[in-house]
Amino acid sequence: MPKPPFASKSGGSATVVIGNKSIELPISRGTIGPDVVDVRKLYSDGDVFTYDPGFTSTASCESAITYIDGDEGVLLYRGYPIEQLAEHSDFIEVCYLLLHGDLPSADQLKTFRNAITRHTMVHEQISMFFRGFRRDAHPMAVMCGVVGALSAFYHDSTDINDPMQRTIASHRMIAKMPTIAAMAYKYSIGQPFIYPQNNLNYSENFLRMCFAVPAEEHKSNPVLARALDRIFILHADHEQNASTSTVRLAGSSGANPFACIAAGIACLWGPAHGGANEAALKMLEEIGHVSRIPEYVARAKDKNSGFRLMGFGHRVYKNYDPRAKVMQQTCHEVLDELGIRNDPLLQVAMELEKIALNDPYFVEKKLYPNIDFYSGITLKALGFPTSMFTALFALARTVGWIAQWAEMIEDPSQKIGRPRQLYVGAPKRDYVPVHKR
């Protein structure tokens, strides 16, 4: 994959005074967004670490893939606004864009689409893995296990120093995630696995693998397939979020791409991250009726309750998540296509959003609906069980993970990630024999 055409440039320097030491730290400037203070020599020159739990003010890398402006509610994939891509592009074209840095020509797109299509099947032995799980295993547990095992099958694309093998591994991951996710779903409901069909597009293929049965013809709904394709576009990448940072950290040790993606899946599962779509729908179901919204809003504002409005708030977006707007439109489109006029969950969601957006607590803390707020309602309407929601997020985010992983591998300044700490434990002390304690 070509190096991005852009690079950082000097933005002057910052001076840090520690005791009687004055340390000049270079400032780097990117294309858009905040400058960074390069602290790489702070420890060697100043004998101190920076301290930033949760990395709220830390740039972990240079990247040319995705840009987010949290205050303006902006999300760009390789410079293209998410709203334009969601309207005009499709998921496979967005995969090409994220991997290669530019929109493809018609020939490039045709070649890429064909390359992905021809990797959609998994090794037949992989179907044996599913038999080891209980039928009620959470699909994310299955995804972690099966994706992690892929490196046991595809040895010919695990050499991270071979660009061709990196490309094949990228294509395999993008192509096989829908097949594996669909197999996890079929296994959970006791139905036979459905093989991919090469004459279908990415989202139609996935819907068929999930909802077709051998006993009858499956008729795909192009409106629903297009809606799902758009949902995949919205979830494809999101800068250095927790799961992407996990993939980068795992990859920095030289681990193979399949193992790195499995690490990303594990991190995404958390309810504070990709698991929020499942948690948000469960929350809406628990609220059940608009009359109970004030009770839940009060709980969310009560520090001692430990309850948060799932699908609200974001580390970066302190404005409306631009994906949530498109997600809301897609939700209405799907419900209209399915003739679900007055979905009670949608009524609760829209009323909850209205109340929260006018409540001083949420306004002051800049808590807005994020992508997970409306995705659950949409995925439920498409026929997916709640337990599959995060698996679909992982399916879509795989291209972002693999693009970020490849960018890291190709970054000449890349080295193994190894943060330090502020030690607050016991000072050095001698061992005390048990009879003297």
Binding site for ligand SDX (CB under 6 A): 238, 241, 272-274, 276, 300, 308-316, 365, 367, 370-372
Residue 257 in tokens: 């791409």
Query: Judged by CB, which is closer to ligand SDX: 202, or 393?
Result: 393
Are 349 and 293 within 8 A, CB to CB?
A: no
CA separation for the pair 30, 6 (Å, rounded): 8
143 CB burial (10 A radius; 0-12, 13-18, 19+)? buried
Q: Which is nearer to ligand SDX, 100 or 273 (CB)?
A: 273
Q: Least CB distance from residue 366 to ligand SDX, whole Å?
A: 8
Nearest-approach distance from CB 309 to ligand SDX, in angstroms:
4
- Smallest separation (angstroms) from ligand SDX to the CB of 400: 8
What value does the CA radius of gyration of the chain take, rounded to a whole number of Å? 23
> Nearest approach, Cβ of 166 to ligand SDX (angstroms)?
23
Closest CA to 104 of 94, 118, 91: 94
Q: Which residues are catalytic?
A: 314, 372
Choice between 104 and 313, CB closer to ligand SDX: 313
Contact at 8 Å (CB) between 184 and 142?
yes
Q: How far is the CB of 239 from ligand SDX (least distance, A)?
A: 6
Identify the three-state secondary structure at position 222.
helix
**How far apart, in Å, are the Cα atoms of 126 and each of 123, 143, 282, 397?**
6, 12, 32, 22
CB of 279 to ligand SDX, least distance (A): 7
In the bound complex, what is the minimum distance in angstroms from residue 355's beta carbon to ligand SDX? 13
Q: Which is nearer to ligand SDX, 73 or 274 (CB)?
A: 274
Q: Are 148 and 236 in contact (CB under 8 A)?
A: no
- Spatial contact of 312 and 370, defined as CB atoms under 8 Å apart: yes
CB atoms within 10 A of CB 102: 14
Nearer to ligand SDX, 6 or 361 (CB): 361
> In the bound complex, what is the minimum distance in angstroms from residue 314's beta carbon to ligand SDX?
5
Q: Which 3-state string (H, E, C) describes 237-264?
A: CCCCCHHHHHHHHHHHCCCCHHHHHHHH
User: Based on CB atoms, which residue is closest to ligand SDX, 312 or 384?
Assistant: 312
Q: What tokens appear for 231 in the block?
A: 């949902």
- Cα separation of 13 and 27, whole Å? 5
For residues 97 and 276, which CB has a smaller minimum distance to ligand SDX in the complex?
A: 276
37 C-beta neighbours (distance < 10 Å), count: 17
- Burial status of residue 145 (CB atoms within 10 A of its CB: 0-12, 13-18, 19 or more): middle
Structure token pair of residue 364: 């002051």
Q: Residue with the closest Cβ to ligand SDX?
A: 313
Host H or E run for residue 393: helix 389-410
Residue nearer to ligand SDX on the CB measure, 327 or 367: 367
CB 411 within 8 A of CB 250: no
